[in-house]
């Protein structure tokens, strides 16, 4: 679950594919409204207007309440999940919603950017009525209405929708409760792209509204201080034995997360202390992106806390990447440090030697056949992959069936057989 009570999202290849963990069964208030936000309830109303069978809707809600809906994947125009029914094998439920064309997005973004309060609300994971009204005035309908939702399911039931798709719809309303960007993703745009574009348009709109002011004349610092007497600088203070504690940061409205800032301050203090005592930078050679990944990877691994999520957003924003990019890179860093990140992001052509001996070694260990491509070996199912690093170690990767969505898994090993055994285990 996310810190604000909604399902926690697992990273996808970019912010155009978001996967949310399965929500456990509800243990209380099962008879209350399934969605708490007004836009979540509007989604449920669209589902109810779509269905002509109240019994299927009731059964779908029971499935959703009972935790029958597995992880939900949201991409532009569709929502997909496996739903466990009465048979051992789950059914693949899908719900399609029309994506906006580029012209509609331009119209919508121009209208939203003209009102700064809309952007602030979205950043707070809110969808005010005024935003939907603004979209409606521009001829864009954000929330679905009757006929907008197109269901599909692998079950034999020809209901419109069946109880499995109804369960998926109810759980989707809970996703919308926690994050309205899920709805905007269904309509075709990811959160990162939307925020960047809204920020740019908002700045342009503000610049047009702001009256021009004459530029102030500048004076060179050397000229300003030429006729002033400056005393010599005092001797530097002795270096303390340990890095000091960062200051306490007040929780101001609209300020950055103080706990995330505290983590960055502690990291900077430790680095500065090492430079003062040894004369060497412990992070020399790391670029901005590598350093951001290192900082994020230093957070505890036991779940994404509110502080960690805030830190991820700060680092992703500072490096121009998405939080999904950062989460994948953190997994690679924890797998193998800077070399693990290099293995994730760069394919290369190994010279003759250990790479060529890997496939015969795997075959002699009775592993299935692997297909080579550059420094990577991929199994026939497309779910397991070994990547050969410049440090002559094999790094394990895993993907869902049918998806080119590789994530670092298991510890690297110089022996491909051991690396694959750890990956499969």
Q: What is the pLDDT of residues 132-175, one digit of tens each?
A: 888 888 888 888 876 677 888 998 887 778 889 889 988 888 88
Same domain, residue pair 362 and 302:
no
Same domain, residue pair 167 and 37:
yes
* Mean pLDDT to the nearest integer, 287-312: 72
Does 215 map to a domain?
Answer: no
Same domain, residue pair 171 and 302:
no
Least confident of 166-175, 252-261, 287-296, 367-376: 252-261
Does 249 map to a domain?
Answer: no
Range of the domain at 367: 354-424
Does 216 map to a domain?
Answer: no
Confidence of residue 213 (pLDDT cuts 50, 70, 90): low
What is the rounded distance in angstroms from the CA atom of residue 147 to the CA atom of residue 145? 6
Does 244 map to a domain?
Answer: no
Helix (H, G, I), strand (E, B) or coil at 79: strand
189-199 CB burial, b ≥16 within 10 A, e <16: bbbbbbbebbe
Question: Which of the listed ranges 119-123, 149-153, 233-237, 388-392 does the model predict with the highest average pLDDT?
Answer: 388-392
Same domain, residue pair 277 and 420:
no
Same domain, residue pair 143 and 95:
yes
Same domain, residue pair 202 and 71:
yes
Q: How many domains does the chain have?
A: 3
Same domain, residue pair 25 and 162:
yes
Same domain, residue pair 102 and 202:
yes
Burial class (CB in 10 A: 0-12, 13-18, 19+), 181: buried
Place of tokens 């001996």: 357
Same domain, residue pair 157 and 50:
yes
Does 197 map to a domain?
Answer: yes
Same domain, residue pair 163 and 54:
yes
- Whether the pLDDT of residue 248 is over 60: the answer is yes
What is the rounded distance in angstroms from the CA atom of residue 143 to the CA atom of residue 145? 7
Please give the residue that has the higher pLDDT: either 136 or 389.
389
The pair of structure tokens assigned to 56 is 């299927």
* Domain stop point among 346, 379, 396: 346
Does 239 map to a domain?
Answer: no
* Domain stop point among 311, 346, 381: 346
Does 306 map to a domain?
Answer: yes
The pair of structure tokens assigned to 10 is 């697992």
Confidence of residue 13 (pLDDT cuts 50, 70, 90): very low
* Cα 368–chain centre separation: 33
- Whether the pLDDT of residue 253 is over 70: the answer is no
Same domain, residue pair 29 and 70:
yes
Same domain, residue pair 381 and 324:
no
Position 251 scores a pLDDT of 62
* Mean pLDDT to the nearest integer, 88-101: 89
Does 14 map to a domain?
Answer: yes
What is the rounded distance in angstroms from the CA atom of residue 365 to the CA atom of residue 411? 19
- Whether the pLDDT of residue 1 is over 50: the answer is no
* Domain stop point among 140, 173, 206: 206
Which among 160, 163, 124, 185 is positioned nearest to 313, based on CA atoms? 124
Alpha helical stretches, state H, 279-353: 288-297, 306-319, 323-345
- Whether the pLDDT of residue 273 is over 50: the answer is yes
């Amino acid at each position: 679950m996310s810190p604000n009570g909604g399902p926690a999202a697992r990273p996808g290849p970019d912010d155009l594919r978001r996967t949310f963990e399965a929500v456990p069964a509800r243990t209380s208030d099962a008879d209350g409204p399934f969605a708490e936000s007004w836009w979540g309830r509007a989604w449920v109303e669209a589902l109810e207007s779509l269905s002509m069978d109240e019994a299927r809707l009731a059964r779908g809600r029971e499935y959703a309440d009972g935790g029958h809906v597995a992880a939900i994947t949201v991409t532009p125009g569709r929502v997909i999940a496996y739903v466990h029914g009465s048979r051992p094998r789950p059914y693949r439920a899908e719900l399609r919603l029309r994506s906006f064309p580029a012209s509609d997005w331009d119209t919508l973004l121009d209208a939203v950017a003209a009102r700064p309060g809309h952007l602030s609300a979205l950043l707070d994971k809110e969808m005010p009525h005024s935003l939907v009204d603004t979209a409606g005035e521009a001829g864009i309908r954000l929330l679905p209405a009757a006929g907008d939702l197109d269901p599909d399911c692998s079950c034999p039931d020809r209901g419109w929708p069946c109880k499995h798709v109804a369960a998926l719809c109810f759980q989707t309303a809970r996703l919308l409760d926690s994050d309205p960007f899920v709805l905007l993703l269904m309509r075709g745009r990811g959160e990162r792209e939307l925020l960047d574009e809204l920020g740019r348009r908002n700045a342009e709109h503000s610049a047009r509204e702001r009256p021009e002011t004459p530029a102030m004349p500048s004076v060179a610092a050397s000229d300003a201080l030429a006729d002033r007497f400056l005393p010599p600088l005092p001797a530097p203070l002795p270096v303390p034995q340990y890095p000091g504690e960062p200051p306490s940061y007040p929780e101001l409205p609209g300020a950055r997360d103080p706990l995330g800032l505290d983590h960055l301050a502690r990291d900077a203090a430790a680095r500065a202390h090492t430079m003062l005592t040894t004369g060497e930078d412990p992070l020399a050679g790391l670029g901005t992106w590598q350093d951001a990944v290192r900082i994020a990877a230093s957070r505890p691994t036991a779940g994404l806390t509110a502080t960690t999520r805030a830190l991820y957003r700060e680092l992703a924003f500072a490096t121009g990447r998405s939080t999904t990019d950062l989460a994948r890179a953190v997994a690679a860093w924890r797998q193998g440090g800077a070399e693990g990140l290099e293995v994730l992001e760069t394919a290369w052509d190994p010279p003759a030697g250990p790479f060529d001996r890997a496939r015969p070694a795997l075959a002699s260990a009775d592993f299935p056949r692997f297909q080579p491509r550059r420094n990577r070996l991929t199994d026939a199912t497309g779910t397991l992959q070994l990547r050969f690093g410049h440090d002559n170690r094999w790094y394990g990767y895993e993907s869902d069936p049918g998806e080119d969505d590789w994530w670092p898994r298991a510890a690297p090993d110089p022996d491909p057989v051991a690396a694959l055994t750890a990956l499969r285990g």
